[in-house]
Amino acid sequence: MNLKYLIPVLSMLSLTRVYAQKNTLPAVSEMSMQQYLNLVGRENIGYAAQKYDVSIAEAGIESARVFPDPEFSTGVFDNQQKKLKLGQGVSFGLSTTLELGGKRTARIALAKSETELNKAVLLDYLRNLRADAAIAYYNAVEQQYLLRLQQQSYLIVKQIADADSIRYQLGSISQTDARQSKLEANNLLSGIDQYEANWQNARLVMGTFAGKKNPDTLICPVANFENLTRTLNLESLIEQAQHSRADAIAATNSKTVADKGLALVKANRVTDLGINAGLQFNGVSINEIAPTPYHKTVNVGISFPLKFSNRYKGDLKAARFTIQQAGLRYESVLQQIRSEVAQAYFSYLTAQKQVMRYQNGLLSEGKKVLDAKIYSYKRGETSLLEVLIARRIYSDTQQAYYSAQANYARAWVELERAAGIWDI
């Protein structure tokens, strides 16, 4: 029996059982890792929302360019016209504030630095999103492999059970052996349901990263655990991560924002100059003592606040403390990066060794033992119990191998996340 063709058939049948109550089979979209990550970058809802932080910050630059609005005033006056006949009039005024000390320039510089900070934060969000999505992809690959392994184990034991049924009818084995092999096959068939659920859940998680609100289309990974071996140098990875990782760039930009914030605080402490101009129209005064003809009055003036508030330097202190805080946080980020890269590096090497151990003989030896036990059992030279033990040992070894491969892939993703590189 050719397992290569039977396994996909069993996968389709299992999906049919899962969706039997809905009487519909979900569409399956096969995607490579690159296609899936591109989809996540386009459709992930959280990432789309995070982009608005950059747009909001860019709008802040435009807001920072605004000049103070001029003020227009008007009014009427009555110099006791009814009683003293001193006339009436109307006045108009225009005033504005000239910002001194480079306030507008400082505001624009701060807004631009905040925009760069938000861009770096967005890149860091994408770094983590991409890594989490890649891990979800490899988790789905692992569950797919484990499902196929369970199906393959079932087929092997099912063949033995079918053969034992015939051998029992021929009197070659006891009824107990025939029942035991059939029971083992049924147990494996029952276990397939859980593996199917795990595989489906893993693909639903993939769909969540891809922004899918309804599980009408399940993403099916087509990648494997190959091409994960790299030649790496720990110190080079640390240096590269501290220089180019998005959160390190964000920490650097935070220092810039703090510096620009201090510059704005200093600029805001400079006294602004108010300029005002007015025009007043005075009506005719027919007062007998002081008659006055119709006339206009023009006035121009300046004003400035008395900055007694500058005696209090809380804003300056806060800005300087913010600079010190940003510097310490930057050092903390660099330290954290060094630790994360080192941990991810050694985890990657350990996972690599575990995979190599399986590839260097464990799997092949287990397969040889199982094949030999099945052959001997068919010839009546060994017991069914020995076959089942060999099958379980080989199945456990394969499961451990697939888990080791998945851990290897996840360790590689975590190393790339920590190092700020991406070549998956």
Residue-wise pLDDT tens digits, 211-232: 876 666 788 888 777 777 888 8
pLDDT at residue 3 in the model: 38
Question: Do the Cβ atoms of 417 and 131 come closer than 8 Å?
Answer: yes
Strand segments (E) across 62-157: 71-78, 88-98
Question: Do the Cβ atoms of 76 and 127 come closer than 8 Å?
Answer: no
What are the residues whose beta carbons fall under 8 Å from the beta carbon of 359, sequence distance 6 or more?
none
pLDDT in tens, 138-194: 999 999 999 998 888 888 878 878 877 777 777 766 777 778 778 877 888 888 888
What are the residues whose beta carbons fall under 8 Å from the beta carbon of 232, sequence distance 6 or more?
345, 348, 415
Give the count of alpha carbons within 13 A of 159, CB side only: 14
> Are 132 and 279 contained in the same domain?
no
Under the banding of pLDDT at 50, 70 and 90, the label for residue 118 is very high
Q: Domain of 334: which CATH number?
A: 1.20.1600.10
- DSSP annotation of 228: -
Question: Which residue among 283, 306, 329 closes a domain?
Answer: 306
> Are 264 and 343 contained in the same domain?
yes
Percentage of residues of the chain with pLDDT beyond 90: 42
3-state secondary structure of 171: coil
Q: What's the full length of the chain, in residues? A: 424
> Are 78 and 172 contained in the same domain?
no
167 or 322: which leads in pLDDT:
322
> Are 173 and 237 contained in the same domain?
yes
Q: Is 361 exposed, middle or buried (0-12, 13-18, 19+ CB in 10 A)?
A: exposed
Residue 319: inside a domain, yes or no?
Answer: yes
Token readout for 144 is 């797919």
How confident is the model over 25-51, as a mean pLDDT?
85
Question: Which residue among 306, 332, 367 closes a domain?
Answer: 306
Q: How far apart are CA 124 and CA 147, in angstroms?
A: 35
> Are 267 and 326 contained in the same domain?
yes
Q: How far apart are CA 8 and CA 371, in angstroms?
A: 23
> Are 225 and 302 contained in the same domain?
no
pLDDT at residue 387 in the model: 73
Q: Looking at the DSSP assignment, which residues form a beta bridge with residue 218?
A: 28
What pTM value is reported for the model?
0.79
What stretches of 210-294 show up as alpha helix (H) in DSSP? 234-244, 246-268
Q: What are φ and ψ of residue 304, in 5° steps?
A: -150, 145
Reported as type and span, the H/E element at residue 183 is helix 175-209
Token readout for 118 is 């938000």
> Are 224 and 282 contained in the same domain?
no
pLDDT at residue 242 in the model: 93
Q: How far apart are CA 175 and CA 156, in angstroms?
A: 20
Q: Which domain holds residue 214?
A: 3-66+99-271+307-419
Residue 424: inside a domain, yes or no?
Answer: no
Find the helix packing angle between 363-378 and 103-170, rounded to 10°: 20
Q: Is 332 exposed, middle or buried (0-12, 13-18, 19+ CB in 10 A)?
A: exposed
pLDDT in tens, 232-278: 899 999 999 999 899 999 999 999 999 999 999 999 899 989 999 99
> Are 292 and 312 contained in the same domain?
no
pLDDT reading at 209 higher than 80:
yes
Residue 359: inside a domain, yes or no?
Answer: yes
> Are 276 and 296 contained in the same domain?
yes
Residue 79: inside a domain, yes or no?
Answer: yes
Give the per-residue SS3 of 272-316: CEEEEEEEEEECCECCCCCCECCEEEEEEEEECCCCHHHHCCHHH
Amino acid letter for position 39: L
> Are 9 and 109 contained in the same domain?
yes
> Are 179 and 87 contained in the same domain?
no
> Are 242 and 366 contained in the same domain?
yes
Report how many domains make up the chain.
2
Question: Which residue among 251, 285, 306 closes a domain?
Answer: 306
- DSSP annotation of 362: I
Residue 113: inside a domain, yes or no?
Answer: yes
Residue 116: inside a domain, yes or no?
Answer: yes
3-state secondary structure of 32: coil
- Tell me which of 83-92, 310-319, 327-336 is least confident: 83-92
Residue 86: inside a domain, yes or no?
Answer: yes
pLDDT reading at 293 higher than 80:
no
Residue 404: inside a domain, yes or no?
Answer: yes
3-state secondary structure of 410: helix
Considering the chain, what is the average pLDDT of its residues? Answer: 84
Token readout for 306 is 């008395």
